[in-house]
Amino acid sequence: MLGIYVHLPFCPYICPYCDFAKWPHRRSAAKRYLDALCSEIEAAPAAQASSIFLGGGTPNTYEASQIGALVERLRARFGARESAEISVEINPELVGAGDLRIYAGAGVNRLSIGVQSFDLAEIRTLGRRHTPAQVAGVVAAARRAGIRSVSLDLIFAVPGQSPASWRASLIAACELGVDHVSAYGLTVEEGTRYARWREREPTAFFNDDREADLYETALEVLEAAGFEQYEISNFAKPGHRSSHNANYWENGEYFGFGVGAASYRDGERSVHTRDLEAYLRAASAGEAIPGTSERLEGAARAGEAVMLALRTAQGVSFAAFKDRYGLDFISFYRPILGRLVEDGLLDIGAAGARLTKRGRFVANDVCGAFVMFAP
Ligand code: SF4
């Protein structure tokens, strides 16, 4: 498995909670970026991709014809077969039925729509400008265009959100008949406008207990509607799990192209610079992209793999862990397993370990214990 991630960093406006590598859209910068990106892609080593993901930013600030051409270039460059999952993230107010037909014609078979909420007040609080009616229109148009899988992103613990409005958003997503939902708790990142808001008015934000209640509502509503939870934040109808994301959680390899993009190859994780000018200069000149890299070895590499596997529904397989890292999971992690099991956070069976329902609410803490573990 090899995933290809391509970062398209321009957005029509900047959301107040966003910490991604992104810039306001300007046509000249976007064109220059696309040229640099294509140079970087051409300079990459030969490989066969099992999935391609165009994320951002807002990829559909580019014309549909540019997205179609980029997808075709990536498919040809990385020998992606017909069966490869090819996803594009989109903002629902910037895409028309004709655009989706162009995407589908280029081989896009999965759409990930940044909806966040179906409540207009919450959508505006999040700095977004679309309407629920536009989302419904995009889902219907994606179906008509023949795009196989349609996914929505939703956010909970938004200031001003109520348990009832969150439930209503989940139900609205289910009623649209989408195949996949990603439900994320709002994270307030340092340096964002939301961080400054929380400093001024901490009570506007959810505490952990109230946020856990909303997460539980997501599990209940989505599972009742026929979605399987296959990762902490991801829910799919049968046959619609994202293989691109599954590859990350299985600690598979991926190439990342574009400013701020991450790659993982041969045990080495590298991240491109978030300095747009530095990226453009290097990529256009065919030079190595500045950034950081680290080689994970021993306990750190194993801990990272456990963290990723525990986020999934199937959890850690002892046999696969032994195969890959040469370690017996139970003996290696014995010093921390007892407490996690006693606290009701981790379930240990004969063949593997996974988070309990309670453990899923505090997944970052449980996973952190494995990442930090040093024998
Ligand atoms: S659209 Fe996405 S990437 Fe762009 S500013 Fe908003 S959250 Fe960030």
Which segment of 54-68, 84-98, 160-174, 360-374 scores lowest on mean pLDDT?
360-374
Looking at the CA of residue 18, tell me the nearest atom of ligand 1. 8
Every domain range in the chain assigned CATH 3.20.20.70:
2-248
Q: What is the pLDDT of residues 158-213, one digit of tens each?
A: 999 999 999 999 999 999 999 999 999 999 999 999 999 999 999 999 998 999 99
Band the pLDDT of 251: cuts 50, 70, 90. confident
Instruction: Specify the pTM.
Output: 0.94
Every domain range in the chain assigned CATH 1.10.10.920:
298-372
Band the pLDDT of 153: cuts 50, 70, 90. very high
Average pLDDT over every residue of 84-112: 97
Residues having CB within 6 Å of any atom of ligand 1: 11, 14-15, 18, 20, 22, 56-58, 91, 114
**Separation of 18 CA from ligand 1 center, angstroms?**
6
User: Residue 375: is its pLDDT beyond 90?
Assistant: no
Return the closest-CA partner of residue 259 out of 78, 55, 74. Answer: 55
User: Residue 70: is its pLDDT beyond 90?
Assistant: yes
Could you tell me where the beta strands, DSSP code E, fall in 222-290?
Answer: 228-231, 234-236, 253-257, 262-265, 268-272
The rounded mean pLDDT for the chain is 96
Average pLDDT over every residue of 312-330: 93
Percentage above 90 pLDDT, the chain: 93
User: Residue 297: is its pLDDT beyond 90?
Assistant: no
Looking at the CA of residue 22, tell me the nearest atom of ligand 1. 3
Q: What is the pLDDT of residues 105-127, one digit of tens each?
A: 999 999 999 999 999 999 999 99
Cα–Cα distance for residue pair 137/97, rounded to 1 Å = 9
Q: What is the pLDDT of residues 349-367, one digit of tens each?
A: 999 999 998 999 899 999 9
CATH of domain 298-372: 1.10.10.920
Atom 6 in ligand 1: residue holding the nearest Cα:
15
Atom 2 in ligand 1: residue holding the nearest Cα:
57
Q: What is the pLDDT of residues 253-266, one digit of tens each?
A: 999 999 999 999 98
CATH of domain 2-248: 3.20.20.70
Cα–Cα distance for residue pair 311/216, rounded to 1 Å = 16
Band the pLDDT of 75: cuts 50, 70, 90. very high
Return the closest-CA partner of residue 30 out of 276, 349, 354. Answer: 276
Cα angle: 140, vertex 141, 144; to 5 degrees: 90
Return the closest-CA partner of residue 170 out of 220, 111, 110, 114. Answer: 220
Counting ligand 1 atoms within 8 A of each CB, the residue from 13, 15, 94 with the most, and so the one to mutate, is: 15
**Separation of 56 CA from ligand 1 center, angstroms?**
7
Decide which of 136 and 326 is more confident.
136
**Separation of 134 CA from ligand 1 center, angstroms?**
18
